[in-house]
């Protein structure tokens, strides 16, 4: 049973993830490149990064290992993405982003296996995120393949929509004290 001393941080973590993912993915999908990247970087440091990391820490208090690991890790993803983009450390080369994304693809794939025991809404987020990371990893390897990055952008937008739905379901269902937006049982 969840520790009720702390409100459910899940909707907050999902909202931070969704909004930041939407901003960067819209740039990757070429909806608005410069503005989308700038918005994503601001969100990556604060909402997607710091707030999601805090949501992960609160999930540890609630003894929810899956959510604690997911939110803490993806909070760190956004903070490290911010650092990668802003500080442009020397010596990286053309595969830097590809290697970064490959590492996150591997992590996301095993988190997707774990998500099969959470609920359908969260599983949908992880399946779409896995697909997004696969396209972005291949698209950013070497000289880059902009077509694959663009596909990754569109699947990232779908990921953000699924995460927003899961976040909305968490907050709306809790506030109403009943299921308004179903998340579908699993495991």
List the beta bridge partners of residue 185.
119
- C-alpha dihedral sign at 10, 48, 160, 92: negative
- pLDDT of res. 92: 66
**Mean pLDDT in residue range 8-20:** 97
How does residue 146 score in pLDDT terms, banded at 50, 70 and 90? confident
31-35, 48-52, 132-136, 182-186: segment of lowest average pLDDT: 31-35
Q: Structure pTM?
A: 0.94
> Residue 81 has which token pair?
């993405």
Question: 3-state class of 1 per DSSP?
Answer: coil
**Mean pLDDT in residue range 83-87:** 89
The residue written with tokens 């941080």 in the block is 9
Cβ 110 vs Cβ 151: under 8 Å: no
Does the pLDDT at position 130 exceed 70?
yes
- pLDDT of res. 50: 97
> Residue 149 has which token pair?
């990055």
- pLDDT of res. 88: 75
**Mean pLDDT in residue range 4-26:** 94
Helix then strand then coil, in percent of the chain rounded to 5, is: 75, 0, 25
How large a percentage of the chain has pLDDT more than 90?
Answer: 81
**Mean pLDDT in residue range 101-122:** 98
Please state, rounded to an integer, the average pLDDT across all residues of the chain: 93
Domain ranges across the chain:
10-86+93-175
């Amino acid at each position: 049973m969840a520790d009720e001393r702390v409100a459910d941080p899940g909707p907050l973590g999902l909202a931070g993830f969704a909004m930041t993912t939407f901003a960067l993915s819209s740039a990757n999908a070429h909806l608005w490149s410069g503005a989308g990247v700038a918005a994503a970087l601001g969100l990556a440091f604060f909402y997607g990064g710091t707030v999601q990391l805090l949501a992960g820490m609160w999930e540890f208090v609630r003894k929810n290992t899956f959510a604690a690991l997911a939110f803490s890790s993806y909070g760190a993803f956004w903070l490290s993405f911010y650092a990668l983009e802003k500080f442009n450390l020397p010596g990286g080369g053309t595969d830097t982003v590809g290697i970064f994304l490959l590492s996150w693809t591997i992590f996301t794939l095993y988190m997707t296996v774990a998500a099969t025991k959470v609920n359908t809404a969260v599983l949908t987020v992880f399946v779409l995120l896995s697909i997004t990371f696969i396209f972005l990893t291949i698209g950013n390897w070497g000289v880059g393949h902009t077509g694959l990055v663009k596909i990754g952008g569109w699947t990232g937008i779908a990921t953000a929509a699924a995460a927003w739905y899961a976040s909305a379901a968490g907050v709306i269902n809790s506030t109403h004290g009943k299921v308004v937006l179903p998340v579908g049982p699993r495991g």
